[in-house]
Amino acid sequence: MVCNHCVAAVRAALTDAGATVVDVELGRAEIAENLSGKELADVARRLEASGFELITDPAKDIVETIKREIIMMVRSAEPPSKKLSEYLSDRLGRDYKSLSRIFSETEGRTIENYAILQKIERVKELLLDGQLTVSEIAWQTGYSSVAHLSRQFKDITAMTPSEFRIGGHRLPLNEV
Protein backbone atom coordinates (compact mmCIF):
# COMPACT_ATOMS: atom_id res chain seq x y z
CA MET A 1 0.00 0.00 0.00
CA VAL A 2 1.27 3.45 -0.91
CA CYS A 3 0.99 5.93 1.94
CA ASN A 4 -2.10 8.04 1.24
CA HIS A 5 -0.87 10.58 3.79
CA CYS A 6 2.36 11.03 1.79
CA VAL A 7 0.46 11.52 -1.47
CA ALA A 8 -1.87 14.05 0.21
CA ALA A 9 1.07 15.94 1.76
CA VAL A 10 2.88 16.22 -1.60
CA ARG A 11 -0.34 17.23 -3.37
CA ALA A 12 -0.97 19.93 -0.71
CA ALA A 13 2.60 21.27 -0.93
CA LEU A 14 2.32 21.60 -4.71
CA THR A 15 -1.17 23.14 -4.59
CA ASP A 16 -0.18 25.59 -1.84
CA ALA A 17 2.74 26.70 -4.01
CA GLY A 18 0.30 27.46 -6.84
CA ALA A 19 0.96 24.42 -9.03
CA THR A 20 -1.84 22.64 -10.88
CA VAL A 21 -1.47 18.99 -9.85
CA VAL A 22 -2.15 16.44 -12.57
CA ASP A 23 -1.09 13.30 -10.67
CA VAL A 24 0.80 12.27 -7.54
CA GLU A 25 2.00 8.73 -6.88
CA LEU A 26 4.83 7.07 -5.04
CA GLY A 27 8.06 8.92 -5.90
CA ARG A 28 6.55 11.08 -8.66
CA ALA A 29 4.36 14.14 -9.08
CA GLU A 30 3.14 15.66 -12.32
CA ILE A 31 2.03 19.26 -12.62
CA ALA A 32 0.41 21.06 -15.55
CA GLU A 33 2.79 23.99 -15.87
CA ASN A 34 6.52 24.75 -15.85
CA LEU A 35 7.57 26.52 -12.67
CA SER A 36 10.09 29.34 -12.36
CA GLY A 37 13.18 28.96 -10.20
CA LYS A 38 11.49 30.88 -7.38
CA GLU A 39 8.38 28.71 -7.61
CA LEU A 40 10.51 25.54 -7.58
CA ALA A 41 12.33 26.80 -4.49
CA ASP A 42 8.96 27.41 -2.82
CA VAL A 43 7.80 23.88 -3.71
CA ALA A 44 11.09 22.46 -2.40
CA ARG A 45 10.70 24.37 0.88
CA ARG A 46 7.11 23.17 1.31
CA LEU A 47 8.06 19.58 0.53
CA GLU A 48 10.99 19.66 2.96
CA ALA A 49 8.67 20.97 5.70
CA SER A 50 6.63 17.78 5.19
CA GLY A 51 9.70 15.52 5.19
CA PHE A 52 10.07 15.17 1.41
CA GLU A 53 12.68 16.24 -1.12
CA LEU A 54 12.31 17.81 -4.55
CA ILE A 55 14.47 15.81 -6.93
CA THR A 56 16.01 17.63 -9.87
CA ASP A 57 19.23 15.63 -10.26
CA PRO A 58 18.93 13.00 -13.06
CA ALA A 59 20.84 10.39 -11.01
CA LYS A 60 18.53 10.92 -8.03
CA ASP A 61 15.57 10.65 -10.38
CA ILE A 62 16.83 7.26 -11.60
CA VAL A 63 17.39 6.13 -8.00
CA GLU A 64 13.85 7.17 -7.04
CA THR A 65 12.48 5.31 -10.05
CA ILE A 66 14.44 2.20 -9.04
CA LYS A 67 13.10 2.48 -5.49
CA ARG A 68 9.54 2.92 -6.76
CA GLU A 69 9.86 -0.14 -9.02
CA ILE A 70 11.29 -2.25 -6.19
CA ILE A 71 8.48 -1.23 -3.85
CA MET A 72 5.89 -2.09 -6.50
CA MET A 73 7.56 -5.43 -7.19
CA VAL A 74 7.81 -6.32 -3.49
CA ARG A 75 4.19 -5.33 -2.87
CA SER A 76 2.78 -7.30 -5.79
CA ALA A 77 0.21 -9.96 -4.82
CA GLU A 78 2.18 -12.53 -6.81
CA PRO A 79 5.75 -13.61 -6.13
CA PRO A 80 8.32 -12.07 -8.48
CA SER A 81 8.62 -14.02 -11.73
CA LYS A 82 11.96 -12.46 -12.71
CA LYS A 83 15.26 -11.82 -11.04
CA LEU A 84 15.58 -8.28 -9.68
CA SER A 85 18.22 -7.31 -12.25
CA GLU A 86 16.07 -8.49 -15.17
CA TYR A 87 12.94 -6.89 -13.74
CA LEU A 88 14.59 -3.47 -13.31
CA SER A 89 16.31 -3.58 -16.71
CA ASP A 90 13.00 -4.40 -18.39
CA ARG A 91 11.02 -1.78 -16.46
CA LEU A 92 13.54 1.05 -16.87
CA GLY A 93 14.86 0.13 -20.31
CA ARG A 94 18.46 0.42 -19.17
CA ASP A 95 21.39 -1.90 -18.55
CA TYR A 96 21.32 -3.23 -14.98
CA LYS A 97 25.03 -2.60 -14.53
CA SER A 98 24.57 1.14 -15.10
CA LEU A 99 21.47 1.23 -12.87
CA SER A 100 23.40 -0.53 -10.13
CA ARG A 101 26.35 1.88 -10.40
CA ILE A 102 24.12 4.98 -10.28
CA PHE A 103 22.17 3.58 -7.33
CA SER A 104 25.27 2.64 -5.33
CA GLU A 105 27.02 5.97 -5.99
CA THR A 106 23.93 7.96 -5.02
CA GLU A 107 22.65 5.87 -2.10
CA GLY A 108 25.85 4.40 -0.67
CA ARG A 109 24.30 0.92 -0.72
CA THR A 110 23.41 -1.66 -3.33
CA ILE A 111 20.11 -2.17 -5.10
CA GLU A 112 20.04 -5.69 -3.68
CA ASN A 113 20.40 -4.40 -0.12
CA TYR A 114 17.57 -1.93 -0.65
CA ALA A 115 15.37 -4.66 -2.16
CA ILE A 116 16.02 -6.99 0.78
CA LEU A 117 15.09 -4.26 3.26
CA GLN A 118 11.89 -3.57 1.34
CA LYS A 119 11.07 -7.29 1.28
CA ILE A 120 11.61 -7.49 5.04
CA GLU A 121 9.26 -4.52 5.57
CA ARG A 122 6.66 -6.30 3.43
CA VAL A 123 7.14 -9.47 5.48
CA LYS A 124 6.68 -7.43 8.66
CA GLU A 125 3.44 -5.98 7.29
CA LEU A 126 2.12 -9.43 6.41
CA LEU A 127 3.17 -10.85 9.79
CA LEU A 128 1.37 -8.08 11.67
CA ASP A 129 -1.70 -8.52 9.46
CA GLY A 130 -1.90 -12.10 10.76
CA GLN A 131 -3.81 -13.50 7.77
CA LEU A 132 -1.01 -15.63 6.29
CA THR A 133 1.29 -18.29 7.69
CA VAL A 134 5.04 -17.71 7.52
CA SER A 135 5.17 -20.30 4.74
CA GLU A 136 2.57 -18.38 2.71
CA ILE A 137 4.42 -15.13 3.34
CA ALA A 138 7.69 -16.70 2.16
CA TRP A 139 6.02 -17.82 -1.08
CA GLN A 140 4.26 -14.48 -1.68
CA THR A 141 7.42 -12.46 -1.13
CA GLY A 142 9.58 -14.66 -3.35
CA TYR A 143 11.72 -16.46 -0.77
CA SER A 144 12.89 -19.92 -1.79
CA SER A 145 11.99 -21.35 1.62
CA VAL A 146 10.73 -20.49 5.09
CA ALA A 147 14.26 -21.15 6.38
CA HIS A 148 15.73 -18.57 3.97
CA LEU A 149 13.10 -16.00 4.96
CA SER A 150 13.61 -16.68 8.67
CA ARG A 151 17.40 -16.45 8.43
CA GLN A 152 17.36 -13.18 6.49
CA PHE A 153 14.60 -11.77 8.71
CA LYS A 154 16.58 -12.54 11.87
CA ASP A 155 19.81 -11.14 10.39
CA ILE A 156 18.08 -7.81 9.76
CA THR A 157 15.65 -7.52 12.68
CA ALA A 158 17.38 -9.67 15.35
CA MET A 159 14.01 -11.42 15.77
CA THR A 160 12.42 -14.50 14.26
CA PRO A 161 9.22 -13.96 12.29
CA SER A 162 7.26 -15.51 15.17
CA GLU A 163 8.87 -13.19 17.73
CA PHE A 164 8.16 -10.23 15.47
CA ARG A 165 4.51 -11.20 15.09
CA ILE A 166 4.15 -10.90 18.88
CA GLY A 167 5.97 -7.64 19.52
CA GLY A 168 7.49 -6.07 16.43
CA HIS A 169 6.93 -2.82 14.55
CA ARG A 170 7.44 -1.59 11.00
CA LEU A 171 9.37 1.31 9.51
CA PRO A 172 7.76 3.83 7.18
CA LEU A 173 8.75 3.00 3.59
CA ASN A 174 10.66 6.24 3.15
CA GLU A 175 12.91 5.32 6.11
CA VAL A 176 14.00 1.97 4.65
Same domain, yes or no, for 78 and 163?
yes
Give the β-pairing of 21-25 and 28-31.
antiparallel
Number of domains into which the chain is organized? 2
Cα–Cα distance, 132 to 122 (Å, whole number): 12
Same domain, yes or no, for 88 and 15?
no
Could you report the average pLDDT of every consecutive run of 10 residues in the chain (176 residues)? 75 87 83 83 86 81 93 85 92 94 95 96 93 93 94 95 83 62
Same domain, yes or no, for 99 and 155?
yes
The residue segments making up the domain with residue 46 are: 4-54
- What's the pTM value of the predicted model, to 2 decimals? 0.71
Strand partners, 31: 21
Q: Where residue 137 sits, what CATH number does that domain have?
A: 1.10.10.60
Same domain, yes or no, for 49 and 81?
no
Contact 153, 161 (CB under 8 A): yes
How does the average pLDDT of the chain come out, rounded?
88
Same domain, yes or no, for 31 and 90?
no
